[in-house]
Structure 1
Amino acid sequence: MKNKFSIGEMAKLHNTTIKTLRYYDEIDLLKPIYTNRDNGYRYYSTEQFEHLNTIQYLKELGFALKDIKRHLEQRNIDDFLKLLEEQKRITEEKIKELTRIKDRFQNRIKDIKLAREVKEVGFPFIKKLAERRIVRLMDTISSEPELEVSLRRLENQANKNSSIFIGGVGLTVGIDDIVNHKFDEYNSIFNILEKEDIQSSFVTTLAEGMYACIFYNGNHSDSPAYYRYLLKYIHDNGFEVSGDSIERTIIDHYISGNKKDYLTEIQIPIKC
């Protein structure tokens, strides 16, 4: 038929699928110009090419099909401008979120690369740390299952997706337990936040100051021996523990199958 294109030809010409065109017909978004009553074959005309191009263009911009349909039915400039403004706003929010995600990935990459360069493993040292924003959940944690449950609670509290959350998670041991050499129980779990991360009542900070630190090849279960070693170092040098310790595994079994690669850091705030 002259100037008529089958649904298959229409799909091929516009780089879409027959299934998609059938769906557009069902929802009255793009109906064939002619349907054969005997066999149900659908046919389209060149006059409908621009109609389909508009649908595809608006879809690519992120518009919902219901909004596209409403615009094509009304074809109102003011309404279309409102649609564009709203989609622009949504797009800007997505860009901000993707930028935050990219920064988290970049910080995690930097973390792991720096960890691989650590030479003084197992030896205490002092360093000054800037204030760090965290979201923190106060919770008693004394086993791996309890840690996993607390992590889920922390993620829910911060309203974050776990796949994005990975990397900045740490644990703390209360100052009283540290002083009494009790290292088998944590009093909180936290996640280090980026500069433009969440704003909520759960956000607090890790104080700026001097910290006695130690890296070791192992995970949380190996920490007690290193706490004792670090506390001896603090005592021998005339320092005083001034707050909860910070313990963070940087490389674990999720990153490397080689236990020699595991790396955890303990940081204990001190008064000099």
Structure 2
Amino acid sequence: MLSIGEFSKICEVSTKTLRYYDEIGLIHPDEINPENGYRYYSIKQLKKMLFINRLKGYCFSLEEIKDILQWEQNHSEEKLYSALNLKKKEIQEKISAYEYTLQQINSDVLNLEKGIPMMSYLNEIKVELVETQPMNILFTRQMLSSDDYALGYGHYFSRLYEKIATEKLTLLGTPITIYHSLEYNPAGNDTEFALPIKESVKGTRDLPDALCARSVLKGAYSELTSVYAQLREWIENEGYEWVNSPYEIYLTDPTQVAVPEDLVTEVYFPVKKKNS
């Protein structure tokens, strides 16, 4: 048997952390002395603790690790395999995001060396006034928190695509997201996912034609806030006012794009001329 101190030293986990793991049911001491409360771990538990550490190193949460440990007890290698592949994808996406951020920093550093203001890139965002055509859209509308967006987009669009395939509907365009909330709320935003289709069936509605201020982003979705800011400034400067929910049309599929710079997104703000 190993004392909690010895176990802690071998596995490089503090005794405080081991006590917490005991509280949440992650790994319990093999034995607790009833007289003095000393905790002891068996040699066999070293493997389990090393497994937990390995999963933590892979950025699994403690709740996720608890689930995986239960799968291990049931010899469910298939679930572990799926979990590892999903985590691998998440980490790769984070790496890509960091690489893109690094490129932006390098670009800003070079511009500053040349005396170019850091925010001058906003001047490169072009805005134009367009008349859109009405669209019949198959839609679903949800309240999504900021944490839900990444998973939510794929999930809700997938459901719409499944309905189109199942009911043999005619797809006429690329995915659209419409933002109905008047202000940003991390706890939840009124978000509509839509696909333009030919048929009018249950779950469809009309997206009417409108006069819109439009901008096109060629780059990562993280840059959309800059596009929104430039659109709002243009609308104000040109004497228009925002009259309906803004929306985005995704001309490229993020799963088919190798680098964020190849993403193409159109942003529309329905507007009207202010009364003079």
Superposition TM-score tier, normalisation by shorter sequence: 0.3 to 0.5
User: Which structure has the larger Rg?
Assistant: 1
Relative to the length of structure 1, the TM-score reads 0.47
TM-score, normalised to structure 2's length?
Answer: 0.46
